Chain A
Amino acid sequence: GEDVEQSLFLSVREGDSSVINCTYTDSSSTYLYWYKQEPGAGLQLLTYIFSNMDMKQDQRLTVLLNKKDKHLSLRIADTQTGDSAIYFCAERPGSGFQKLVFGTGTRLLVSP
């Protein structure tokens, strides 16, 4: 079946790099996504990576994909207090359906 797992919490200091990890089970996933949820708001797409890529960089964000180990990571460089939020990893299964499978979310706390 499809399952996406993440660690629950991560705490970093402002200016450090943050790395949020995710593992998934569907080896035929086509796209993998990172969403951000700020308090009292809906999920917002941060970035995504196609399954035939192993890295994608977008300003302070770097996504690494290890397809062999079914491992996805999101690195945030120069983390700011405004980055404090819950980060969700999601996969689009290769079964051809439009739905996404979301992880449990990682709560990132950035301290000054």
Chain B
Amino acid sequence: DAGVIQSPRHEVTEMGQEVTLRCKPISGHDYLFWYRQTMMRGLELLIYFNNNVPIDDSGMPEDRFSAKMPNASFSTLKIQPSEPRDSAVYFCASSPLAGVAEQYFGPGTRLTVT
């Protein structure tokens, strides 16, 4: 299995631009999570999906952030307009429904907003 795939790995953009981060979860996993990691705030859960349906988006910072999961193999996290304080590493993770329910993380997207 290829694991969780994220693209791009690095993104540099100017303030005010739209940014779209992409994630392909592990096939067969029912849950998908988006996290943000910064030095100041650590690892924060932004939103998670179950069977493509958003379950908890209470961690989404503000209306500039939106996430979608149009099908079981693809999700996007969009920031519009982007701001310098959005600079962080964004991780996608997926997990199966049953058992230990461990989360498998992707390699992350390092976003820099100038």
A33, B102: Cβ atoms under 8 Å? yes
Q: Does A85 contact B (CB under 8 A)?
A: no
**For chains A and B in complex, what number of residue pairs have CB atoms within 8 angstroms?**
47
Closest to B43 in A: A102
By DSSP majority rule, is chain B's interface helix, strand, loop, or mixed? strand
Return chain B residues, CB-CB under 8 Å to A99.
Answer: 33, 45, 48, 56
Return chain A residues, CB-CB under 8 Å to B102.
Answer: 33, 45, 48
A104, B42: Cβ atoms under 8 Å? yes
B43, A42: Cβ atoms under 8 Å? no
CB neighbors of B among A39-96 (8 A): 40-45, 48, 88, 92
- Report which of A31, A35, A102, A105 forms a contact with B101, defined as CB distance below 8 A: A31
Nearest CB in chain A: distance from B108 CB, A: 5
Residues of B within 8 A of A (CB): 4, 31, 33, 42-43, 45, 48, 50, 55-56, 91, 93, 95, 97, 100-108
Q: Which 10 A-B pairs have the closest CB atoms?
A: A42-B105, A43-B105, A45-B102, A104-B42, A102-B43, A98-B31, A42-B107, A42-B108, A42-B106, A42-B91
